[in-house]
Amino acid sequence: MLNDNECKSTDNGDKSSLSIWHLLSEYLQKFGIVFALLAMCAFLSISSPYFLTLSNMANILLQSSINAILALGVTFVIITGGIDLSLGSVLALSGVVMGVAIQNNITIFIAIILGLLVGALCGFINGLFITRLNLPPFIATLGMMSIARGLALVITEGYPISGLPESIRFIGSGKIYGIPMPVMVVIILFFVSHIVLTKTKLGRYTYAIGGNEEATKLSGVNTKKYKTILYTITGIFSGIAGIVLAARVNSALAIAGMGYELDAIAAAVIGGVSQSGGEGTVAGTILGAIVMGVLRNGLNLLDVSTYWQQVVIGLVLVIAVSFDQLKRR
Amino acid sequence: MLIKKITSILLIVLILISIVGCSNQNSNESSQQANQTEQSEAKEISIAVIPKALDSEFWLDVKQGAEKAAEENNINLSVLAPDKESNVEQQFRIIEDMIQKKVDALLIAPCDSAGVVPFIEKANEANIPVFTIDTNADGGDVVSFIGTDNVLGGKIAGERVIKLLNGKGKVALIVGVPGQQTMRDRASGFKEAIATAPEIQLVAEQPANSERALAMTVMENILQANPDLDAVFACSTLMAMGALEAVEAAGKLDQVKVIGFDSQKESLEAIKAGKLDSLVAQNPFNMGYLGVKAAIDYINGKEVPNRIDTGTELVTIENVDKYLK
């Protein structure tokens, strides 16, 4: 992609490493996820007659959508070499703020905007923590994870806000041209993220910061500003996910989305977004989210308990990242 | 590179679509075959039970009950639950997956009574009968709710109080979150029972939101106002433990009998130690067992009542060992 040259530069042009094994592993890393997805689908369609049906495929896409939105958001900061652990909590806070706004008879449109603003604000504060207080992203967003969750609980006192109006529920369960709304949201966000990352200055700086932050700063880029913007974007995406989730389950819960950050980070990493920064594509992230959706759906159809599902997803994550490491060798 | 990637993705989509297309044709044929084979042998019923989680004794008992009923009736059973009760969306995803699996009946203990409604409606659209266990849903087409009759449970507690006090004395009631249906039912059952004993006086009724610490404070205040209190019924086990702590701190364990609702290891041990008088225990095993049986009956065309009580039992020092197994 656009930044292939930059990525390659980390290889230092070491010709001896260009062995067949290297090429093979690089190929596997680039397209491995597609092979993995196909292999999983093949396996699951043999083992369960209910897997490979159009309605189940639509079901998987719908179920993957929340994770995909969060994963797309976190892709931006992982590319810079950062991380955001507050995704799930910000999701809950945004949903709850929207819910409370609706309860107080605020127009639905404004309520949604409020939810998104809260997401953006959380992300912005994450950015400030990281760039102004020089906190490591892990710590700053771990703090936000607790702060946002706590605020969501404070606002609702722990009660669910249920029975949302029909127009909100449409976002969760409505369809446009036969495509479920949550999937539609993912498609739109996919294109937006793709354009931002590949066609804009912000996108170029994102990869540059991930590749070598110091060098990027020395070449005159205001890295603090851009990093803050990127964390804000991640926050907005979490906010969108929060609204879609609340709409889908017809209630805004302060305890919603616990642990979702891990699934989202896993999806991005499985999709080839590198934790060491500078690499990753939105297409990969989406595929990563679908892989996780297929895994969960398939394991449910095969009656595998959710405890084992966690084990399997952990293994897949480790295998995916080890391909990444092989490539770097 | 970009073009390469896009073409490769397009290719995969094409492959997937063609696979789906072919498999649909195949499945049409094979389903016809399957239909024939199904007709020749008795069709195996498959039922999915979806508890709130499987992380506590309560839900494991539900699972055991469901498994026993499945074994007795030789059916296919799936028990799948989210990893924790708060993971509401995961539970709903499991419901969707089970609809895809075309199970013959769904038994759900909704993690969120309002949130589950659109998913019950999805199952309704797919003509899959839905049963709720333990907790009912706020809407959707539910064949039957299989759970504790909380009014009856409250009555049992009230009768225990009458027996303990020989029909004469002062009692207090500690209720849960105001507005919670189960809590309201327990309290009203209790009040109904003690109303039959004219010489029993309800001197206090206070909410403690099912919180242990709050129940302790509430109980301290009740004891201050009513130093001659004889008994207290707390509508949950946590509140009973909180009230017990207050009674113990006041040195009134011999005077004030504490009765709770729901069994838990710690509270059972308190009964064994002679501190807590008794508990009204629910029967989670029955929720699984009677739930699966009701679903099988319904599938076989039998009438199923829309409310099935899974029973409650008073746990006292005499039968506590059975629960402490």
Cβ-nearest to B83 among A52, A56, A306? A306
The shortest C-alpha distance from B249 to chain A (Å) reads 30
Return d(Cα B47, Cα B35) in angstroms, integer. Answer: 19
pLDDT score recorded for residue B263: 84
B135 close to A (CB below 8 A): no
Residues of B within 8 A of A31 (CB-CB) are 8
In degrees, to the nearest 5, what angle opens at C-alpha B321 toward C-alphas B318 and B325? 165
**Is the model more confident about B214 or about A30?**
B214
Note whether A1 contacts B24, CB cutoff 8 Å.
Answer: no
Q: Are A242 and A98 in contact (CB under 8 A)?
A: yes
DSSP annotation of A85: S
Pairing state between β A251-252 and B105-108: unpaired
Work out the minimum CA distance from A196 to partner chain B, whole angstroms.
15
pLDDT at A243: 96
Same domain membership, residue B278 and residue B157? yes
Please say whether the beta carbons of A45 and B97 come within 8 A: no
**Distance from C-alpha of B102 to C-alpha of B97, rounded to nearest angstrom:** 9
Lowest mean pLDDT among A39-53, A291-305, B26-40, B119-133: B26-40
Q: Which residues of B touch A37 (CB under 8 A)?
A: 12
Q: Does B15 touch chain A (CB under 8 A)?
A: yes
Q: Which helix (H) or strand (E) holds B142?
A: strand B142-147
State how far the Cα of B294 lies from the Cα of B300, in Å rounded to an integer. Answer: 10
Predicted confidence at residue B216, as pLDDT, reads 94
For residue A159, give the 3-state DSSP assignment.
coil
Which domain, by its residues, includes B96? 44-147+284-310
Q: A26, A29, A300: which to substitute to probe chain B, counting the most B Cβ within 10 Å?
A: A300
What integer best gives the mean pLDDT of chain B? 86
Tokens of B148: 């504790």
Based on the domain organization, do B107 and B141 belong to the same domain? yes
Give residue A41's identity as a one-letter amino acid code.
Answer: C
List the structure tokens of A99. Answer: 């819910």
* Residue B247 in domain: yes
Q: Does B299 touch chain A (CB under 8 A)?
A: no
- Kindly state the average pLDDT of the residues B182-188: 87
Q: Are residues B105 and B121 in the same domain?
A: yes
Task: Tell me, yes or no, whether B59 lies in a domain.
Answer: yes
| B16, B112, B117 member nearest A253 (Cβ) | B112
Supply the pLDDT for residue B273: 93
Q: How confident is the model at residue B21 (pLDDT cuts 50, 70, 90)?
A: very low
User: Which of B8, B75, B76, B89 is most worth mutating to test chain A (most A CB atoms within 10 A of its CB)?
Assistant: B89
Phi, psi of B141 (to 5 degrees): -95, 100
Q: Do A57 and B20 touch (CB under 8 A)?
A: yes
Cα–Cα–Cα angle for B66, B68, B71, rounded to 5 degrees: 110
* Residue B85 exposure: Cα atoms within 13 Å on the Cβ side: 12
Which band of pLDDT confidence, cut at 50, 70 and 90, is reported for residue B17? very low
Clarify whether residues B191 and B265 are in a common domain. yes
> Distance between CA B262 and CA B279 in Å, rounded?
6
**CATH code for position B135:** 3.40.50.2300
- Which residues in A101-118 are b (16+ Cβ under 10 Å) and which e? bbeeeeebeebbebbbbb
Region B304-323: mean pLDDT is 92
pLDDT per residue over B188-209, tens digit each?
Answer: 999 999 999 999 999 999 988 7
B128 pLDDT higher than 80 = yes
What's the pTM value of the predicted model, to 2 decimals? 0.78
Q: With both helix axes pointing from N to C terminus, report the angle between A282-301 and B88-100 in degrees, rounded to the nearest 10.
A: 70
Task: Note whether A1 contacts B2, CB cutoff 8 Å.
Answer: yes
Q: Is the pLDDT of residue B224 over 70?
A: yes
- Closest CB to B117: pick one of A38, A250, A281: A250
- Which residues of chain A lie closer than 8 angstroms to B176, CB-CB? none
Among 3.30.2010, 1.10.150, 1.10.3470, 3.10.110, name the CATH number for the domain at A60-324.
1.10.3470
Predicted local confidence at residue B179, as pLDDT: 63
> Could B112 and A173 be called an inter-chain contact, meaning their C-beta atoms sit closer than 8 Å?
no
Do B173 and B205 touch, CB atoms closer than 8 A? yes
Domain assignment present for B6: no
B157 in a structural domain:
yes
Main-chain dihedrals φ then ψ at residue B45, nearest 5 degrees: -80, 140
Cβ(A71)–Cβ(A324) under 8 Å?
no
Residue B37 lies in a domain: no
Instruction: Residue B93: list chain A partners with CB under 8 A.
Output: 63, 296-297, 300
Identify the helix (H) or strand (E) that includes residue B315: strand B312-315
At B60, list the tokens.
Answer: 């494991």
- The pLDDT tens digits of the residues spanning A59-112 come to 999 999 999 999 999 999 999 999 999 999 999 999 999 999 999 989 999 999
Which of chain B's residues have a Cβ under 8 Å away from the Cβ of A169?
Answer: 118
B173-182 tens-digit pLDDT? 998 876 667 8
Phi/psi at A83 (nearest 5 deg)? -155, 155
Number of Cβ atoms within 10 Å of the Cβ of B220: 17
For residue B253, being part of any structural domain is answered with yes
- How close is the nearest chain B Cα to the Cα of A308, in Å? 10
Residues B131 and B50 grouped into a single domain: yes
Q: pLDDT by residue (tens digit) across A214-242?
A: 999 999 999 999 999 999 999 999 999 99
Chain B residues 29-88 with CB within 8 Å of chain A: 30, 54, 78, 80-84, 86-88
- Of all residues in chain B, the percent with pLDDT exceeding 70 is 86
CA torsion sign for B248, B254, B259, B264 is positive
- The minimal CB distance from A283 to the residues B9, B78, B115 is found for B9
The residue of chain A nearest to residue B122, with distances taken between CA atoms, is A173
Residue found by looking up tokens 């990493």 in the block:
A269
Kindly state the tokens that stand for A117.
């603003």
CB distance B52 to A211 below 8 Å: no
> What is the C-alpha to C-alpha distance for residues B102 and B120, in angstroms, rounded to an integer?
14
Cross-chain CB nearest to B88 (options A54, A163, A249): A249
DSSP letter for A178, please.
Answer: T
So where are chain A's domains?
A: 60-324
Q: Are residues B236 and B222 in the same domain?
A: yes
Report the SS3 class of residue A136: coil
* CB A91, CB A245: distance < 8 Å: yes
Nearest CA in chain B to A50: B101
For chain B, the domain total comes to: 2
Round to whole Å and give the CA distance between B187 and A96: 31
Nearest CA in chain A to B11: A34
What pLDDT score was predicted for residue B182?
A: 80
Q: What angle do CA A23, A25, A31 make, to 5 degrees?
A: 100
Is any Cβ of chain A less than 8 angstroms from the Cβ of B252? Answer: no
Evaluate whether residue B316 is within a structural domain.
no
What pLDDT sits at residue A14?
47
Kindly state the helix (H) or strand (E) to which residue B294 belongs, with its residue range.
helix B284-299
Average pLDDT of the segment spanning B38-67: 82
How close, in Å, is residue A226 to chain B by CA atoms? Answer: 25
Q: When comparing pLDDT for A213 and B210, which is higher?
A: A213
CA pair distance A154, A152, nearest whole angstrom: 5
- Percentage of chain B lying above the pLDDT 90 cut: 66
10-residue mean pLDDT profile of chain A (329 residues): values are 42 52 64 82 90 91 96 96 96 96 93 97 97 95 95 86 86 89 96 95 94 92 95 97 93 88 92 84 93 92 87 85 68
The model's confidence at residue B42, banded by pLDDT at 50, 70 and 90, is low
